[in-house]
Structure formats: structure tokens, C-alpha cells
Structure 1
Amino acid sequence: MAPLGTRPAAPAGKRQAAGPGKTTAKTAGTKPKQPAGFPTLEVERGFLAQGVTLLAGVDEVGRGALAGPVSVGIAVVDLRDHGLLADVRDSKLLKPEDRERLEPLVREWAVCSAVGHASSAEIDALGIVGALRLAGTRAWFEILAAGVRPDLVLLDGSHNWLSPQSQGSLFDAEPSGPVCEAPVHTRVKADMSCLSVAAASVLAKVARDRIMLDLHEEYPAFGWNENKGYGTSSHREAIRSLGPTRYHRTSWNLL
């Protein structure tokens, strides 16, 4: 079964030449353009004036599910010369086969990447915001362990759930390992306009979906291969008939 901790980050400083589905920004004074409706790096490059070079796009998936982990993806870009990546957009707008195709391309494209998870038991113990921070901290640790230290985090949404100082007494004790001390900039619907955040959403979605497919093998009656733990009518009916599993968030109103 896939682990509910972290997935390894790419090697520090890893950069790839433009390949299939990728566009380089180093083209004799020209700026490659994305098709209309696809995210770009324009928002991210706005931070260059503040001295930011390495920016970490961050997004989560699984927040509203009834079962399985919550997962946080990070994709780091170098704002000085990072090229665009074709076809990547918010993971919710992509077909499963497209996400699977794009996931290895995102990992090659990013300077560094990671996905962290917090289990359903951790969600029950910490609440969803605390679990998000735990999953994000696990992913952040992998980024730092690879020797990459982003200057800024661009986080999807309106609330900074990643920084320790934003949570007050949310945790009885700090998570083991380094926590995110970089400045965090939140942006509503960043996964729609910011390529680094959209890339992070693809990484997190693919990683979490693979976990749910593994869990489906253990509990096939709940249809996690299709609903990925979200509250569909058939999923709720299975909970009503069979009761919750150890992978359900039992602190939630499952029915």
C-alpha cells in the first residue's frame, strides 16, 4: 500500500531540457504563450521584484473526502528562467489519464517536488486544518532534504494553513523535522491561474488517487476506485450498510 507520509522529492536543482509537452522560456527574447484558459507563470514572476527566485507552488487534495488521507503537493520553480509546461491545469479539470501522463513531466519540469499526506486518523486527531499543515510540513521537509530552500510559498486558497505561526495552539507539540518558515502568499483559485500551483495539484491528486486505489483493494465495497473517498450516494450507502472502516474520518458526519 502506498505510504501516508511523503513521496520522495526530485534531486536538488534538477532541471531538464524541454521535451515532449514542454516549452522553454529561453528563446531569444520571446515569451512562450499558453493556450487561453491554461495557467502561466505570470503571477509567480511578479515576485521577482521582491528578490524571490525559488518559488514553491502548493495545493491540497482530499480536503472534503469522507475517507483516505489529505494530500499536499509542492512544485518549486526558478522564476529567473523557468519554462512553461503544456497541458497542465488544475487537476480537477483534467481526465485521470491526462493527470497520469502529466505527473512525470511535472516532476521533470520542477526544480524540486514532493507530496505529503496526513491519514484519516490524523485528520480525526488534529482536525482538517491541522492535518493539512501536517501533510504540508511533511512535503516541505522533503524539499529541504533535497537541498532546495524556496524563498516564497504560493498557496492556493484564502487561508495560510501551512505556517506554524498562523496556527496558534493548533498542535500540542510541533511536528518533528523542519517546518515552513518561508513567507506564504495566499491566492484564491491560484490553481486556475498559477502554473506552479496547478502543477502541485496534479502531483497531489495523482499520489492520493493511487493511495485510494490501493485501499480499494482492501475494502472494495466502498467504491474508492471510482469515488476516491468522496461522499457519493453509493459511498454513503455502503457506510450505512457496512459501517465505517479504519480509513474513514470517523469524526465527520459520514451519513
Structure 2
Amino acid sequence: MASQPPTLEHERALAARGGHKLIGAADEVGRGALAGPVSVGYVVIDPNGVPDLPGVRDSKLLNAEQRQTLVPLIKEWAAGWGVGHASAAEIDELGLVPALRLAGLRAVTAAGVEADAVLLDGNLDWLSATRQPTLLDSLMPGFGEAGDIDGLLIPVQTLIKGDLLALSIAAASILAKVERDELLDGYDSEHPAYGWIQNKGYGTTGHRQAIVEQGATGYHRKTWQLTPKG
């Protein structure tokens, strides 16, 4: 049986609860891959001022052609949108969760529109800042600069299965999926042995075997278990 389409119910509830007007929504793609970036899609909407967007679903429920068709519609529908990436090297250097936060900040910056609160897919808030500005930040030179804050300072609400339930999160997931897939397709032209057009960097048997035979590339997450154990 087909799943119910996502709605704006959660966005409108968050707006009403906090007295917010503009709601952001974020979702990530590529968290579990062996190669390529982790990518975050982000949209900002006025949930009480936008219509439903027919056809939008969690990106995993759509084929490539459907996702491509929806991208321009999502960009026109949203007040702002962005996609941010953190590379395999950044994942190795920072760790996965900080890299997710970095990709999310890049997506938020690219959107160019400030939300009042954000809905985030899942049960882990990887988007909020790990430190909050203090009075000292405003008094001491070098504190409180944009680069000192590693995440969002506005309210972030997590939503389990948000990409299935919330229209804005589903839209963000599509933007992230399409951009990341295009990146992996480009990487495949440089390194065709790994099958990235088909596996998008995930750990299929063929991908892992290619790493055994060819070694890891600069697009692989070298701190991860890339080859079969044994």
C-alpha cells in the first residue's frame, strides 16, 4: 500500500508553538556511504503561506527522473533553499557528526533566507551549535565572530521519519539527493572501477572488492572500514 504523502502539519505546529513565521527544514544524504560527501538539503518556507507540493516524497521513494523533475518546482516553492556538502576528507578529519553540522551550515548559508526555527529529520540534533555565545563573546575581541559558531543558534526540532511526514523535509531530501548523485556521477568518470554511478558510494560488494583491488581514492573515507574484514 502506498504511503500517505507528507503534509505541512508539523511545520505549521512548530510555527504556532513558537510564534514563528519562517520554518527551515533539513535532511542529509550519504551518511552511511564509503565514498563521497555527506550532503544536506535545506529549504525555508512560510508554512501558512505555501501550498502543498504534489509529487514530493522522501527522496528514497522516488526514481531519478521524478527527483529531477521536482527540483525546479521545489526551488520555486521555497522562500530559500540550499545544499551543503562535507567532503570525505572533512569527515575523516572532523568525524561524521561535526561534518554533518558543517554541511548543514553550508546549506543554511546558501539558502540566503533566515528561518525562525528548523525541523530536522531523525532523532539526533546534529545541526545546533555545540556552544552558545556568552557575554564574554560580546566583550572580548575575537569572540562571537561568525566562524566561532559551529551550528545553528535558532530552535531545532527533530522529527523521526520526518522525510515521510513533513513536506519541507521531503523537499530538502530531494535537493540533497539530486546534488549528491550528480557529484558521485562526476567522480565515477574519474574512477570508473568503483561503480559509483550505480552504488553512489555505498558499500556494495562490488564497491568493496574494487577498493581491495584498486585501493582507496581521495573520495573515500579512509578512517572507515572500507574493505571486508577477514
TM-score by length of 1: 0.80
Question: For the residues of structure 2 that align with 1:213 and 1:79, how far apart are their CA atoms?
Answer: 34
Which stretch has the larger CA shift, 158-167 or 79-88? Answer: 158-167
Task: Confirm or deny that 1:182 pairs with 2:158.
Answer: no
Per the alignment, residue 10 of structure 2 pairs with 43
Counterparts of 1:1-255 in structure 2, within 5 Å, are: 37-49=4-16, 50-143=18-111, 146=112, 148-165=113-130, 176=147, 179-255=151-227
Question: For the residues of structure 1 that align with 2:78 and 2:49, how far apart are their CA atoms?
Answer: 12
Higher helix content, 1 or 2: 2
Question: Deviation string for 1:127-176 (max 9, x for gaps)?
Answer: 11011001001111222xx2x21010100011111111379xxxxxx983
SS of the equivalent of 2:147 reads coil
TM-score by length of 2: 0.88
Question: Deviation string for 1:161-205 (max 9, x for gaps)?
Answer: 1111379xxxxxx98387421100001110000000000000000
Question: For the residues of structure 1 that align with 2:195 and 2:78, how far apart are their CA atoms?
Answer: 33
Structure 2 spans left out of the alignment, 5+ residues: 133-144
Question: For the residues of structure 2 that align with 1:185 and 1:193, how far apart are their CA atoms?
Answer: 14
Question: For the residues of structure 1 that align with 2:223 and 2:20, how far apart are their CA atoms?
Answer: 40
Question: Match for 1:37: what amino acid?
Answer: Q
SS of the equivalent of 1:137 reads helix
Question: For the residues of structure 2 that align with 1:123 and 1:156, how far apart are their CA atoms?
Answer: 20
Q: CA RMSD in A?
A: 1.8
Question: For the residues of structure 1 that align with 2:94 and 2:103, how far apart are their CA atoms?
Answer: 11
Question: Deviation string for 1:15-45 (max 9, x for gaps)?
Answer: xxxxxxxxxxxxxxxxxxxx96110101111
SS of the equivalent of 2:177 reads helix
Structure 1 spans left out of the alignment, 5+ residues: 1-34, 168-173
Asked if the contact 1:67–1:248 (Cα under 8 Å) also holds between the matched residues in 2, the reply is yes
Identity of aligned residues (%): 53
How many residues are aligned here? 212
